[in-house]
């Protein structure tokens, strides 16, 4: 699963009650919006409670798996929606959700999210950015006498043999994002690159937690491999006693993964759902996104935590692919990758 999943323990079902600012009675206090999301959603009780206090709206958070599982559930239940708002459909699945007409039109009026829009219909609004890229353990590389890689091309050189661990793109969101990054950057040469990686001893595991916490030498698991596919934000969780990062993200290998939210078509409480959308893009919520979910806020002007500014700045020029292109080619690309790497 995703990097932040490791940092969040247990399921979170938030059912917060409160009163409106106007001191409404029981009827207003009972207003509830169901927010359907992925397993990695998290937010502080204080932020959620303040929203309830100010609006009288209870947010009922219901988790349904990863981004792919979330999208599948939304599509399968679109004629009888399982919630009012959905949060967590990402770059790799957004076009499917739009093609299936899952979302109604609504866009909070804030700067930033429109820069990551899928189309001009205002059905999905960017809430956070989670750039996927190589992470390295500089100390372990130095101990081996191997220079720090600066891009994809370095990884196929002999000195990097048996040093890289990646996630399977068929079973892992960051694994898929990394594959897409190689396709975006290398074009027709992506298959030759992966053939060279396979010949150079790349290790493939099923998911992020195994790759990062068991195989990567820079994590608490202190595994054998000093190069891993993770997130640009990961070094912010690997600080020494002086607050310096022990790991680095290789920013020239980042692929931009955007997570979106939207009001579900046929929502039982559409007006209150729009207020929840405004809340997701509010400065209060967005300022908590890095520390709560280890992703970058989509709203412009939100200051990153101090540790992030030093260890995990937002990549300036990540690779991207149109969501529609991903939707059209995703399964074929994964199949071709499997034939190359797994035989």
Q: What is the value of pTM for the model shown?
A: 0.84
Do domains 3-130+258-311 and 132-255+315-341 share one topology? The answer is: yes
b/e per residue 117-136 (b: at least 16 CB within 10 A)? bbeeebbbbbbbbbbbbbbb
Cβ 181 vs Cβ 320: under 8 Å: no
What number of other Cβ atoms are within 10 A of residue 113's Cβ? 25
Report the pLDDT value the prediction gives residue 66, as an integer from 0 to 100.
85
What is the DSSP code string of 17-55?
---BTT---HHHHTEEEEEEE-TT----HHHHHHHHHHH
Task: Please count the other Cβ atoms lying within 10 Å of the Cβ belonging to residue 239.
Answer: 15
pLDDT at 155: 98
| Per-residue confidence in pLDDT tens, the chain, 343 aa | 444 544 443 333 344 333 333 333 444 446 999 999 999 899 999 999 999 999 999 999 999 988 888 999 999 999 999 999 999 999 999 999 999 999 999 999 999 999 999 998 999 999 999 999 999 999 999 999 999 999 999 999 999 999 999 999 998 889 999 999 999 999 999 999 999 999 999 999 999 999 999 999 999 889 999 999 999 999 999 999 888 999 999 999 999 999 999 999 999 999 999 999 999 999 999 999 999 999 999 999 999 998 898 899 999 999 999 998 999 999 999 999 999 999 8
Q: What are the boundaries of each domain within the chain?
A: 3-130+258-311, 132-255+315-341
Tokens of 122: 């205002």
d(CA 133, CA 107): 29
> What pLDDT score was predicted for residue 18?
37
Three-state secondary-structure class, residue 160: helix
Tokens 């989670």: give the residue: 130
Amino acid 5: pLDDT: 45
Report pLDDT for 305: 92
Any idea which fold 3-130+258-311 has? D-Maltodextrin-Binding Protein; domain 2 (3.40.190)
Measured CA to CA in angstroms, residue 246 lies from 99, 132, 235 at distances of 43, 18, 7
What CATH number does the domain located at 132-255+315-341 have? 3.40.190.10
Helix intervals (H) in 163-303:
173-186, 190-199, 208-210, 270-280, 283-293
* pLDDT attached to residue 1: 42
Whole-angstrom distance, CA of residue 97 vs CA of residue 120: 15
């Amino acid at each position: 699963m995703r990097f932040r999943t490791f940092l969040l323990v247990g399921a979170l079902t938030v059912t917060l009650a409160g009163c409106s600012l106007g001191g409404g009675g029981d009827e207003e206090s009972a207003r509830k919006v169901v927010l359907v999301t992925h397993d990695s959603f998290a937010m502080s009780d204080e932020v959620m409670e303040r929203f309830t206090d100010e609006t009288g709206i209870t947010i009922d958070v219901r988790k349904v798996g990863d981004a792919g599982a979330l999208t599948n559930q939304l599509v399968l239940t679109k004629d009888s929606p399982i919630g009012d708002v959905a949060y967590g459909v990402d770059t790799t699945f957004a076009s499917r959700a739009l093609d299936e007409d899952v979302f109604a039109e609504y866009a909070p009026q804030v700067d930033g999210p429109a820069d990551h829009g899928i189309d001009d219909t205002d059905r999905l609004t960017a809430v956070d950015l989670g750039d996927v890229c190589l992470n390295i353990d500089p100390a372990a590389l130095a101990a081996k006498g191997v220079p720090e890689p600066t891009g994809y091309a370095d990884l196929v050189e002999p000195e990097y043999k048996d040093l890289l661990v990646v996630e399977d793109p068929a079973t892992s969101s960051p694994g898929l994002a990394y594959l897409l990054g190689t396709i975006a950057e290398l074009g027709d040469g992506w298959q030759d690159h992966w053939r060279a990686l396979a010949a150079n001893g790349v290790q493939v595991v099923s998911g992020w937690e195994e790759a990062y916490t068991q195989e990567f030498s820079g994590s608490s698991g202190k595994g054998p491999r000093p190069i891993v596919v993770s997130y640009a934000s990961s070094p912010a969780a690997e600080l020494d006693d002086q607050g310096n990062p022990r790991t680095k993200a290789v920013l020239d290998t980042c692929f931009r993964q955007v997570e979106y939210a939207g009001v579900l078509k046929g929502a039982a409480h559409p007006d209150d759902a729009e207020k929840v959308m405004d809340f997701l893009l509010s400065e209060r919520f967005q300022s908590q996104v890095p520390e709560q979910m280890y992703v970058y806020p989509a709203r412009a002007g939100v200051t990153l935590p101090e540790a992030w500014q030093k260890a995990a700045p937002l990549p300036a020029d990540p690779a991207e692919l149109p969501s529609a292109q991903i939707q059209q080619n995703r399964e074929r690309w994964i199949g071709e990758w499997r034939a190359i790497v797994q035989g």
